[in-house]
Amino acid sequence: MKVFVTGATGVMGRSVVRSLLAAGHDVIGLARDPERAAMLDAMDVLPVRGTLFDQVRLAEAFEGCDVICNMATRMPIGWSGLRAGAWRANDRLRSEGSRIVAKAARTAGVCRLIQESVSYLYADAGDNWITESSPISVTAATEPVILAETAAEEFRDAGHESVILRFGSIIGDDGLTRWRLRRAKAGRPIGLGAPEGWTHVVHVDDIGTAVVASLTAPSGIYNVGAEPIRRADLVVAYGRAVGATDAAFISRLLQRLGGDRLEPLTRSQRVRSEALATAAAWRSDHPQFGTDWLLDVVSA
């Protein structure tokens, strides 16, 4: 297949590109500047200059593609995400950019759209299992994600195919994982939410394989990640990876000060990620979280 990937130079995009190329697909990527165009070229991806907000240019670039994978995000790392305006660029990519991508794909006659999303949309469910049909909880922080999903659903309603992938929190060679490891090594708290709560995580490599499976999956929403783990176990694993024995949770007061932006990340979410396996025979290469996920990052 001929697959166009937006956000191809980002953490998720690079994983997607690697998996698509390994599966024998032709990959085209969007580059907003010469530096990113050179990065794509080095990745064996055909670069196309443009931005996510130029619908005419996108429609031209999408011509002849079988699938569009919209993986474009720009998430702030760590405490920088609590600064005023820190999420503005990322929110715009999802709320406005995703709508433009879907419209350009329709104009270009593309049959299938794959849209990234996040599983922290789901409402806190305590110890109960969460599936794709479980209730979501929309706040000012999560509304842009809902708008991105809506754009993909409208693309499907117009007679095309769309797959929405709700990923767990990414762990691997990415900025947030490294930030948490540095804090754990320095003896600073890293845990969010209640220690007994559940969290849904995904190894960065599984992002790409899930997208490859989505090329032929039935239209719909799918959770993607490893088996859910207790938040306390996640924090302990980060500490062990850097030789720290006192990894701890951020105080409830500080978490409350984080407001709407931090609240979704504190929810107890025991998320199942089995539907994509049933629908498209996807198999996670990292089905259970462990300290080994972190050791490659520590040694890098």
Report pLDDT for 82: 78
In the block, which residue shows the tokens 């569009």?
Answer: 68
SS (H, E, C) 25-90: CEEEEEECCHHHHHHHHHCCCEEEECCCCCHHHHHHHHCCCCEEEECCCCCCCHHHHHCCCCCHHH
* pLDDT at residue 300 tops 80: no
**Percent of the chain, pLDDT > 90?**
87
Report pLDDT for 177: 96
Report pLDDT for 135: 98
Report pLDDT for 207: 98
- DSSP 8-state symbol, 151: H
pLDDT tier, 158 (very low <50, low <70, confident <90, very high otherwise):
confident
By three-state DSSP, how is residue 250 classified?
A: coil
* pLDDT at residue 132 tops 80: yes
Report pLDDT for 299: 78
Give the chain's mean pLDDT.
95
Report pLDDT for 196: 97
**Percent of the chain, pLDDT > 70?**
100
The CATH number of 2-171+200-225+271-285 is: 3.40.50.720
* pLDDT at residue 128 tops 80: yes
Report pLDDT for 290: 92
* pLDDT at residue 12 tops 90: yes
By three-state DSSP, how is residue 96 classified?
A: helix
Report pLDDT for 7: 96
Report pLDDT for 113: 98
Report pLDDT for 204: 96
The pTM assigned to this predicted structure is 0.96
Token pair recorded at residue 175 = 């900025």
Report pLDDT for 51: 93
Report pLDDT for 144: 97
Query: b/e string for 66-97 if b means 16 or more Cβ within 10 A?
Result: ebbbbbbbebbeeeebeeeebbeebbebbbbb
How is the chain split into domains, by residue range?
2-171+200-225+271-285
User: Which pLDDT tens digit goes with each residue over 194-242?
Assistant: 999 999 999 999 999 999 999 999 999 999 999 999 999 999 999 999 9
User: Which pLDDT tens digit goes with each residue over 67-123?
Assistant: 999 999 998 888 888 787 889 999 999 999 999 999 999 999 999 999 999 999 999
Cβ 204 vs Cβ 172: under 8 Å:
yes
Token pair recorded at residue 190 = 């890293």
